[in-house]
A and B are shown apart, each in its own frame.
Chain A
Amino acid sequence: MKRKLFLASTISSALAACSPIGTALNNNEGFHKALGAAQGLNHMAIGTRGLAREYTDADVDRDFRVNGLATPGDSHYQSLVHSNYRGYKLIVDGAVERAHAFPLAQLQKMEQVTQTTRHDCVEGWSAIGKWSGVRLADVLAAVRPRTDAKYVVFHCFDKDESGTSYYESLNLHQAMHPQALLSLRLNDAPLDADHGAPVRLRVPTQLGYKSAKWIARIELVGSYANIAGGAGGYWEDQGYEWYAGI
């Protein structure tokens, strides 16, 4: 009996040691960095292949969950909302041959595609929406990326409490995926301000934080190392993976 007691206490103290040891290692810079190695493996093993599952109208969440940073409250964005986005232009520039600013009406005249796909949040929940808009690939084709363009960076209107702007990035392979969508509509209605109007990204093959809302400008770059925190996105700068396929 003594032996069992000894073993039981050894096991429970070993379990209880998991958290403090893990926390101490977590705060070690080198160890923390080493753990990040899994991202490269996941990117290689999973990558962006195949197509996200498409759903039917019956599956759609009519009241699609609003998450992420607060809807921009600054006067510039609010004036766009009040003018029904008449003054809005989507700037696409950087490593391209023909930089262009697309008025909303021009985006609406391009070929519209619809996807009813699931939005998988990194927190663990999911919601299904019916999204319509322009393929990101079509917009990129119109501006002709230069050969030195490797990444597509999305600069957004939303800022957190400390004033840091939201941004995201994809590599060209991810950006050319047929389901990478610049969404203008949600559930058969024009995108509303809380869901990222007038233009938001949809990347159903990756977690929700890649699907940037309130896009102001798309910039093609050779590297995102010099943008904001250098990790390729607002959440990436706070330790989340750039490759968000898992």
Chain B
Amino acid sequence: MGKTIYRYAVATRLSHWLWVIAFGVLISSGLQIFNAAPYLDASDKSNPARRVLSFDAPSDGVGTTTIFGATFTTTGWLGWTDDGQGGKTARAFPGWLTIPSYQSLADGRRWHLFFAWIAAVCWLTWLISTAIKGNLREMVLMPGDIPKILPMQLYYLKLRKEPPPHGIYNPLQKVAYTTIGFVIAPLVVLSGLALSPGVDAIANPLTWFFGGRQFARLWHFTGMIALIGFFLIHTFQVATQGVINQMTSMITGWYRVGEHEAVES
């Protein structure tokens, strides 16, 4: 039984849980928006010749998913799905995954643009509060952490008895924080902004950087997939590394330090 340390400040905990809500809303309202034009082109303007992904209903009762030219039948899951009102219809993502459940681009945009602000403010709050506390160095992956990633993974997989020595956060946690905070979050925010004709007029190079407006839409979608991937890995890690202790610390701030964890700070 190790001692307990105060690990998460109020701002961190509050932004974390607000972010969880924003995450759910942004994905489900984003899928609602996506349903209005259920295809992604690797180009500036829409161009079927550069289509990477599309969801279609070639006939009533049949849904298909086409990815890089290969078509799969996905009836009921993608392409021909639940209309959110008890029936089935030609619709890329099903009603049980979207906000609102029925087709409404206007309402999807309303939710998405509101929670985009919440997510952005949470991200900035986390970044600033962490930087002020000087924890950024503890959370961001440094060159010295790289050799410790594999041993840490082996420890998680129970192929190694002890974790490599580390600070408050272990090397894999640092990988997670760095990926979400400095790669995925900026990718999602910037590619989303690049979709806006108003932002494009202010900062032409931003939309250009993503390969144009449709390509930015593809990046935005890719960012969502990455977010879901992060979410799955993150919850798996929490579940396997003392779920009660982890959840308690993210709610109360107090974390019980294990016998193997050296507290350097």
Task: Name A's B-contacting residues (CB within 8 A).
Answer: 3-4, 7-8, 11, 14-16, 18-20, 22-23, 26-27, 32, 34-39, 41-42, 46-53, 59, 61, 65, 118, 120-128, 204-207, 235, 238-241, 245-246
Knowing A18-B25, A123-B36, A123-B105 touch, does A46 contact B196 (C-beta < 8 A)? Answer: yes
Residue contact A19 to B198, C-beta cutoff 8 Å: no
Q: 4 closest Cβ contacts across the A-B interface?
A: A245-B198, A22-B99, A124-B37, A239-B106
Q: Which one of A7, A59, A126 lies within 8 Å of B235 (CB-CB)?
A: A7
Task: Name B's A-contacting residues (CB within 8 A).
Answer: 24-25, 27-29, 33-34, 36-37, 44-46, 84, 95-102, 104-107, 109-111, 113-114, 116-117, 193, 195-204, 207-208, 213-214, 217, 235, 239-240, 243
Knowing A4-B240, A53-B207 touch, does A19 contact B101 (C-beta < 8 A)? Answer: yes
Residue contact B107 to A118, C-beta cutoff 8 Å: no
Give bound CA distance, A11 to B240, whole Å. Answer: 14
Q: Which one of A18, A36, A38, A122 lies within 8 Å of B117 (CB-CB)?
A: A38
Residue contact B45 to A239, C-beta cutoff 8 Å: no
Q: What are 17 of the A-B contact pairs (CB < 8 Å)?
A: A3-B239, A7-B243, A18-B27, A22-B100, A22-B101, A23-B99, A49-B201, A50-B201, A118-B44, A124-B217, A125-B46, A125-B214, A204-B201, A206-B197, A240-B106, A241-B109, A245-B196
Q: Which one of A7, A53, A241 lies within 8 Å of B204 (CB-CB)?
A: A53
Residue contact B111 to A22, C-beta cutoff 8 Å: yes
Q: How far is the CB of A139 from chain B (nearest CB, A)?
A: 22
Q: Which one of B101, B113, B207 lies within 8 Å of A246 (CB-CB)?
A: B113
> Using Cβ atoms and an 8 Å threshold, which residues of chain A touch B101?
19-20, 22-23
Give bound CA distance, A120 to B212, whole Å. Answer: 11
Residue contact A35 to B114, C-beta cutoff 8 Å: yes
Q: How far is the CB of A215 from chain B (nearest CB, A)?
A: 20
Residue contact A11 to B235, C-beta cutoff 8 Å: yes
> Using Cβ atoms and an 8 Å threshold, which residues of chain B touch A38?
110, 113-114, 116-117
Residue contact B99 to A46, C-beta cutoff 8 Å: no
> Using Cβ atoms and an 8 Å threshold, which residues of chain B touch A3?
239, 243
Q: With CB as the reference atom, state the residue of chain A lying closest to B202.
A: A50
Residue contact A246 to B198, C-beta cutoff 8 Å: yes
> Using Cβ atoms and an 8 Å threshold, which residues of chain B touch A124?
33-34, 36-37, 217
Knowing A16-B96, A46-B198, A52-B201 touch, does A126 contact B109 (C-beta < 8 A)? Answer: no
Q: With CB as the reference atom, state the residue of chain B lying closest to A235.
A: B106
> Using Cβ atoms and an 8 Å threshold, which residues of chain B touch A47?
198
Residue contact B196 to A59, C-beta cutoff 8 Å: no
Q: How far is the CB of B45 from chain A (nearest CB, A)?
A: 5
Residue contact A35 to B111, C-beta cutoff 8 Å: yes
Residue contact B100 to A23, C-beta cutoff 8 Å: yes
Residue contact A19 to B197, C-beta cutoff 8 Å: no
> Using Cβ atoms and an 8 Å threshold, which residues of chain A touch B37?
121, 123-125
> Using Cβ atoms and an 8 Å threshold, which residues of chain A touch B204?
50, 53
Residue contact A51 to B201, C-beta cutoff 8 Å: yes
Give bound CA distance, A154 to B129, whole Å. Answer: 48
Q: How far is the CB of A211 from chain B (nearest CB, A)?
A: 11
> Using Cβ atoms and an 8 Å threshold, which residues of chain B touch A123?
36-37, 105
Residue contact B45 to A126, C-beta cutoff 8 Å: yes
Q: With CB as the reference atom, state the residue of chain B lying closest to A203.
A: B197
Q: How far is the CB of A180 from chain B (nearest CB, A)?
A: 12
> Using Cβ atoms and an 8 Å threshold, which residues of chain A touch B239?
3-4, 7-8
Q: Which one of B102, B104, B203, B213 lies within 8 Å of A120 (CB-CB)?
A: B213
Residue contact A52 to B235, C-beta cutoff 8 Å: no
Give bound CA distance, A65 to B203, whole Å. Answer: 26
Q: How far is the CB of B191 from chain A (nearest CB, A)?
A: 13
Knowing A22-B100, A49-B201, A61-B45 touch, does A239 contact B36 (C-beta < 8 A)? Answer: no
> Using Cβ atoms and an 8 Å threshold, which residues of chain B touch A26?
99-100, 104, 107, 111
Q: With CB as the reference atom, state the residue of chain B lying closest to A127.
A: B45
Give bound CA distance, A27 to B101, whole Å. Answer: 11
Q: Which one of A15, A20, A48, A122 lies within 8 Å of B198 (CB-CB)?
A: A48
